[in-house]
C-alpha cells in the first residue's frame, strides 16, 4: 500500500541553524571561491554502483533528480548498505543508496525495505526509529573529529529531521538543505538535497566528497535498535556520528 509522498521539507530550520558557523550567505548559495559545475546536457546520465569504499554521483539535470520519482534515478544503480555495526540485521530487511549532483546541490537517495509497518514513535531519539543517518564531509580528510563542512543528518521515515546529534554537528550548516520521504507498508525512500555551499567545497568533476550512510532498524518489541533491531552502515563503524575516519567517499563523475 502506497502511503504517499510529502513535499520538500527544510532540514533543521531556524532552531537548529541558529548559532551555526555560516558557510553560505542565504539558502543554497555557493561559497566564495566555489566554482559551480556545468549544467549538464539536460539528459539523464547513467550512474554505476559503488566500487569498494568509493561511490559515484553523475551530473544530472535538476528536473530529473529533484523528486523521489525523478526520471534520472532509474538510470543510477544503487549501492547496498550491508555492514552490521549494531545488533543484527532483522530478517527481510535491506537498504541501498544512490547519489547525483547538480550545480546547486548534492542529492542522496536511500531505499529501505523493512518488511513490516514502520516505527516512528521516538522523536527524542530518532535513531531508535526507522531512520536513515547521512554523513557528509566537504573536506574528505578522514581525520577523526568532524572538521568544517562535515556532519551527520538523521531523517526518519515520517520525515522528522535532526542535525543536532553527533559530535561537532554544527560544522555542517543546514541552511537550504531539504528532504523528501515516501512510505509504503513495507518500507520507505528518503531523498536529501544538500547545497554545495554548506559543504564548503568546490563543485567540479572528479572531486571527492566524504560520505557514509547508515540505516536504523528498531526492535519489534522494545522498539530499540539495541534490543531486537540493529544498524547497517555502508562504510565505517557505529561511531560514525563522532568521527569521519572510517567513511568512504562519493566521486563527482
Could you tell me what percent of the chain has a pLDDT over 90? 51
Range name among 83-87, 97-101, 173-177, 222-226 with the lowest pLDDT average: 222-226
147 dihedral zone (left: phi>0; alpha: psi -120 to 50; beta): beta
CB atoms within 10 A of CB 239: 12
What pLDDT, on the 0 to 100 scale, is given for residue 238? 94
Enter the DSSP assignment of 27: T
pTM of the model: 0.84
Mean of all residue pLDDT scores within the chain: 81
Domain segments of the chain: what residues? 2-29+67-247
Ramachandran angles phi, psi of 234, nearest 5°: -75, -55
Asked whether residue 168 carries a pLDDT value surpassing 80, the answer given is no
**88 SS3 class:** coil
What pLDDT, on the 0 to 100 scale, is given for residue 188? 96
- The predicted-structure confidence for 88-125, as pLDDT tens digits, reads as follows 888 899 999 999 999 999 999 999 999 888 888 777 78
Per-residue pLDDT band for 5 (boundaries 50, 70, 90) equals: low
User: Which one is predicted more confidently, 161 or 108?
Assistant: 108
What pLDDT, on the 0 to 100 scale, is given for residue 21? 18
User: Which one is predicted more confidently, 50 or 174?
Assistant: 50
Q: What string of H, E and C letters represents the secondary structure of 193-248?
A: EEEHHHHCCCCCCCCEEEEEEEEEECCCCCCECCEECEEEECCCCCCCCCCCCCCE
Over range 149-172, report the average pLDDT: 73
Q: Which fold has domain 2-29+67-247?
A: Immunoglobulin-like (2.60.40)
Per-residue pLDDT band for 126 (boundaries 50, 70, 90) equals: confident
CB atoms within 10 A of CB 222: 12
Exposure of 99 in the CB half-sphere (CA atoms within 13 A): 26
CA torsion angle 115 121 123 125 (round to 10): -70
- The predicted-structure confidence for 207-233, as pLDDT tens digits, reads as follows 999 999 999 998 765 556 767 788 999
Amino acid at each position: 500500500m502506497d502511503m504517499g509522498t510529502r513535499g520538500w521539507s527544510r532540514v533543521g530550520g531556524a532552531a537548529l541553524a541558529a548559532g551555526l558557523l555560516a558557510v553560505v550567505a542565504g539558502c543554497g548559495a555557493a561559497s566564495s571561491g566555489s566554482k559551480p559545475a556545468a549544467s549538464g546536457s539536460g539528459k539523464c546520465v547513467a550512474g554505476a554502483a559503488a566500487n569498494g569504499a568509493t561511490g559515484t554521483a553523475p551530473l544530472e539535470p535538476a528536473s530529473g533528480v529533484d523528486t523521489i520519482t525523478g526520471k534520472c534515478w532509474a538510470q543510477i544503480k544503487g549501492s547496498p548498505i550491508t555492514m552490521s555495526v549494531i545488533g543484527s540485521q532483522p530478517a527481510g530487511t535491506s537498504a541501498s543508496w544512490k547519489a547525483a549532483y547538480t550545480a546547486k546541490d548534492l542529492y542522496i537517495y536511500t531505499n529501505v525495505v523493512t518488511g513490516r509497518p514502520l516505527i516512528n514513535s521516538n522523536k527524542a531519539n530518532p535513531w531508535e526509529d526507522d531512520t536513515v543517518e547521512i554523513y557528509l564531509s566537504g573536506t574528505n580528510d578522514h581525520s577523526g573529529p568532524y572538521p568544517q563542512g562535515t556532519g551527520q543528518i538523521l531523517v526518519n521515515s515520517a520525515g522528522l529531521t535532526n542535525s543536532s546529534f553527533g559530535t561537532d554537528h554544527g560544522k555542517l550548516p543546514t541552511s537550504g538543505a531539504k528532504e523528501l520521504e515516501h512510505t509504503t507498508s513495507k518500507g520507505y525512500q528518503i531523498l536529501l538535497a544538500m547545497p554545495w555551499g554548506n559543504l564548503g567545497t568546490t563543485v567540479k568533476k572528479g572531486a571527492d566528497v566524504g560520505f557514509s550512510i547508515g540505516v536504523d532498524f528498531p526492535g519489534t518489541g522494545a522498539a530499540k535498535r539495541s534490543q531486537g533491531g540493529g544498524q547497517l552502515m555502508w562504510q565505517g563503524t557505529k561511531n560514525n556520528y563522532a568521527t569521519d575516519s572510517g567513511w568512504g567517499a562519493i566521486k563527482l563523475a
